[in-house]
């Protein structure tokens, strides 16, 4: 249901919520309590207004900054040879955009394009969170934490002053009804926002310390499970280059400017790797479950082969443009799982190629469920396509002209 609401509605809602907490608290509670336009009011409220300005500005940057487009002519720097026993399936390719996917990029089904170092699609900013705007997004949530903490702190101060005046029988200092209403309202709003955004901030600070996106956190868990079950040999997560350098890779090299709005210096395609990582691993990360690369009776190809046999037995005309030489995950993927028409590009040949590639992609029931759920776009499993067999060292765009 939430998906049917236009993204701009969320953005307007967030702006109104920030303005409500920031200014109703000052106009109706803190300002009158501090005696109006006094020096004392200035010292109390100036820090809050600086924090609110940073919240608004970083929010503006997070909403309007492009998270990162993938260059259409980008190709992997090394040839990836598939090895199904190791879960290595070839270079990553996006069948919807018909391009190779650089390391850490993923296709967003809401933005309908691939996004560099994609973290998630965020309805609250009506934008993907990716390489280009992740620092702005993080500064925004951190300043929201600071600003809401400041408001809650001032509200607690105001309650204490009221209790003190009551204790000293200074009834002329009693709050009026509107002040009480706005105190309760602002306390509830600021506390709820602080709680929710605080949890989000802690999770993302953990991800930054590990140099992983939300998607990569999910991928790492899956790969670790495969290693624990001895399905694939141990493989080093390549992007974790020490906590300090991981933080610098998001917020910049100068710690004094980490919270100052600035655009990332890197290109979102080339990443520093840890010493013990294989440089090739970035072009196929994450490794797949070898079981997902075996033929399955649940595969689309298997079903088509059975249909073909049936038609031959009944002397019907057979038309099957899909290569027999592919594998499937054993998933319950059906024709209805094909991408919608607007995701398709190019000629009939490329559509057939994509169709055959799609059969290779191996989407598990769990992953399908993940893709169908709410806001975050799941990485497509195009990574599993043994493209090296079909189009070695050529971009999908070139191959469709063959
Ligand atoms: Zn794409
Ligand atoms: Zn998106």
Please check whether residue 304 is in contact with residue 298, taking contact to mean a CB–CB distance below 8 angstroms.
no
Out of 30-44, 101-115, 339-353, which region has the weakest mean confidence (pLDDT)? Answer: 339-353
So what's the pLDDT on residue 309?
74
Please check whether residue 395 is in contact with residue 140, taking contact to mean a CB–CB distance below 8 angstroms.
no
Please check whether residue 351 is in contact with residue 358, taking contact to mean a CB–CB distance below 8 angstroms.
no
CA atoms of 47 and 57, how far apart (whole Å): 15
So what's the pLDDT on residue 310?
76
Q: Cα 332–309–389 angle (5° rounding)?
A: 60
| Residue showing tokens 């906590």 | 243
Give the pair of three-digit tokens for residue 204: 């993302």
So what's the pLDDT on residue 108?
96
120 DSSP 8-state letter: E
100 CA to centre of ligand 2 in angstroms: 18
> pTM for this structure?
0.74
107 CA to centre of ligand 1 in angstroms: 4
226 CA to centre of ligand 1 in angstroms: 26
Please check whether residue 131 is in contact with residue 139, taking contact to mean a CB–CB distance below 8 angstroms.
no
The 3-state secondary structure of 6-32 reads: CHHHHHHHHHHHHHHHHHHHHHHHHHH
Q: What is the pLDDT confidence band of residue 380, given thresholds at 50, 70 and 90?
A: very low
Ligand of minimum distance to the alpha carbon of 345? 1
Q: DSSP string spanning 62-96?
A: HHHS---BPPTT---SSPPPPBGGGTB--S-EETT
3-state secondary structure of 343: helix
So what's the pLDDT on residue 379?
42
pLDDT tens track for 113-134: 999 999 999 999 999 999 999 9
63 CA to centre of ligand 1 in angstroms: 21
So what's the pLDDT on residue 302?
62
Please check whether residue 400 is in contact with residue 98, taking contact to mean a CB–CB distance below 8 angstroms.
yes
248 assigned to active site? no
CA atoms of 113 and 96, how far apart (whole Å): 8
pLDDT tens track for 329-376: 222 222 223 333 333 333 333 333 333 333 333 333 343 433 433 333
- The catalytic residue among 94, 122, 148, 248 is 122
Q: What is the pLDDT confidence band of residue 79, given thresholds at 50, 70 and 90?
A: confident
334 CA to centre of ligand 2 in angstroms: 25
Ligand of minimum distance to the alpha carbon of 110? 2
Give the pair of three-digit tokens for residue 270: 């080339």
pLDDT tens track for 218-247: 999 999 999 999 999 998 999 999 999 999
Q: What Å distances lie between residue 104 and 68, 218, 233, 390, 396, CA to CA? A: 11, 13, 21, 23, 19
Neighbours of 66 (CB within 10 A): 13
Buried b (16+ CB within 10 A) or exposed e, 142-181: bbbbbbbebbbebbeebeeebeeeeeeeeeeeebeeebee
Give the pair of three-digit tokens for residue 62: 């997070």
Ligand of minimum distance to the alpha carbon of 92? 1
Nearest to 285 by CA among 69, 78, 124, 70: 78
Q: From the DSSP assignment, how many helices (H) and strands (E) are in the chain?
A: 13, 6
Q: Assess whether pLDDT exceeds 70 at residue 285.
A: yes
């Amino acid at each position: 249901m939430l998906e049917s609401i236009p993204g701009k509605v969320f953005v307007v809602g967030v702006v109104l919520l920030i303005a409500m907490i920031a200014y109703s608290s000052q106009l109706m509670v803190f300002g009158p309590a501090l005696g109006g336009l006094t020096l004392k009011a200035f010292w109390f409220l100036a820090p809050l207004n600086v924090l609110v300005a940073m919240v608004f500005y970083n929010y503006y940057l997070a909403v309007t900054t492009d998270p990162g487009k993938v260059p259409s002519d980008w190709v992997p720097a090394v040839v990836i040879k598939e090895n199904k026993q190791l879960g290595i399936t070839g270079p990553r390719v996006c069948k919807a955009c018909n391009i190779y996917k650089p390391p850490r990029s993923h296709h967003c089904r809401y933005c309908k394009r691939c996004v560099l170092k994609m973290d998630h699609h965020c309805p609250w900013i009506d934008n993907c969170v990716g390489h280009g705007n992740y620092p702005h997004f993080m500064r925004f949530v951190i300043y929201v934490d600071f600003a809401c903490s400041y408001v809650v702190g001032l509200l607690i101060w105001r309650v204490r002053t009221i209790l003190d005046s009551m204790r000293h029988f200074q009834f002329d200092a009693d709050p009026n009804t509107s002040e009480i209403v706005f105190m309760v309202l602002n306390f509830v709003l600021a506390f709820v926002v602080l709680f929710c955004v605080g949890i989000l901030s802690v999770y993302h600070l953990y991800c930054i310390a590990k140099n992983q996106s939300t998607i990569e956190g999910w991928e790492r868990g899956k790969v670790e499970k495969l290693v624990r079950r001895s399905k694939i040999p141990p493989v080093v997560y390549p992007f974790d280059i020490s906590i300090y350098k991981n933080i610098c890779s998001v917020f910049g090299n100068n710690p004094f400017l980490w919270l100052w709005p600035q655009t990332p210096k890197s290109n979102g395609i080339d990443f520093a790797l840890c010493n013990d990582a294989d440089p090739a691993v970035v072009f196929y990360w994450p490794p797949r479950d070898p079981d997902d690369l075996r033929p399955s009776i649940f595969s689309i190809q298997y079903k088509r082969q059975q249909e073909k046999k049936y038609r031959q037995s009944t002397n019907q005309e057979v038309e099957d443009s899909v290569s027999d030489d592919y594998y499937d995950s054993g998933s319950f993927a059906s024709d209805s799982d094909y991408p919608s028409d607007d995701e398709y590009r190019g000629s009939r040949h490329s559509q057939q190629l994509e169709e055959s590639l799609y059969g290779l992609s191996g989407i598990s029931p769990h992953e399908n469920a993940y893709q169908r759920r709410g806001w975050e776009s799941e990485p497509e499993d195009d990574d599993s396509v043994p493209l090296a067999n079909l189009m070695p060292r050529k971009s999908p765009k070139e191959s469709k002209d063959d």
